[in-house]
Chain A
Amino acid sequence: MIELDETDRALLAALARDARLSAAALGRRLGLSQPAAWRRVRRLEEAGVIAGRRLELDAARLGFGVTVFLGIKLAAKGRASLEDFERAVTAIREVQRVEHMLGLYDYRLRVVARDLADFERVLRRRIMTLPGVGQVEANVMLSEERRPGPIRGTACDPAGDRGERARTTGGQAHGSE
């Protein structure tokens, strides 16, 4: 596993907020030369710590007013039905996220729709007709916050500098305004 120093963590935190920052801009912020900043970013990418980049769009402004989290239980279990279900569910455009869970239900889905009527259409025509689908629970999302996560603590000692972290994270409480 990759070891991160303070500079790596600051770099990661900056890129998690804005991945379009150039190596030069990152370097200026963190007191590194441009090539040094670039090398560090490359190292984080190669270690898989930066898994990729995500374009953040304002769903509501694009007409997607409803996000629903679905908990799905499969009716007929078994290896074959899991694969059929996963293949079919990932092909649905309105399904943004699929996670296989251990607990109350088998899959957690994040579904986006234009409005509740559109969601109902997706649910009835696409989700309820998936192979093996059993019980479905829906929760309509009202608000969402992505938190920076334990970037500022060390991976093995997450009880690091708590006061500092509380201040930094508290300052960006509503990151989605």
Chain B
Amino acid sequence: MAESEEIILGDLDRRLLRYLQAEPSLGHAELGERAGVAASRVTRRLARLEEAGVIRGVRAVIDWRALGYAVDVSLRITLEKSHPRAFDEFLNAARQVPEVTEIQTFLGRVDVRLGVIATDLAHYQAVYRDRILTLPHIADIESLMTVATVKADEALPL
């Protein structure tokens, strides 16, 4: 984060990013129409934002439920921090588990959160026992299951 310098956005940049956040597949002509500028100007602005590293890209969002992964669990993990390489070794091992979809580290009561998916509870049980509990340096785990996702746009309040 240290090397990421803050970019000052103009009014047009902000509007374009807002439209794109809401509908990432909008074309430059459509964006220009909404913002009231020529498509060529949109193209130049977006190229600049991409060069500046503000726009990292567009990713397809996979709905794992549609692929049969009905179970979505949040594991909140505390590590044995007395070991100097505990974080690195834990994270490296967690990356090798295919069912782990997200890894976050925190400052707070919890050290690491893993998002884990499974096809059903039996599969989850197997992943949990064979792949999660065997990860190194775990001091404590709490599990929460996602019942419903109420909001997931992850948009920035620009």
Interface residues of A (CB under 8 A from B): 1-2, 4, 12, 15-20, 47-65, 69, 86, 89-90, 93-105, 107-108, 110, 112, 137-147, 149-153, 155-156, 158, 162, 165-166, 169-170, 173
| Closest chain B CB from A155 CB (angstroms) | 4
Interface SS majority for chain A: mixed
B154 and A101 within 8 A (CB):
no
B144 and A104 within 8 A (CB):
yes
Interface SS majority for chain B: mixed
A96 and B153 within 8 A (CB):
yes
B67 and A99 within 8 A (CB):
no
B62 close to A (CB within 8 Å): yes
Residues of B within 8 A of A138 (CB): 108
B98 and A59 within 8 A (CB):
no
Instruction: Tell me whether A155 and B147 are in contact in the complex, defined as CB-CB below 8 angstroms, given that A16-B59, A62-B6 are known contacts.
Output: no
B66 and A47 within 8 A (CB):
yes
Looking at A1, A97, A158, the one whose CB has the most chain B CB atoms below 10 A away is: A158
Residues of A within 8 A of B156 (CB): 57, 59, 62, 64, 96, 112
B84 close to A (CB within 8 Å): no
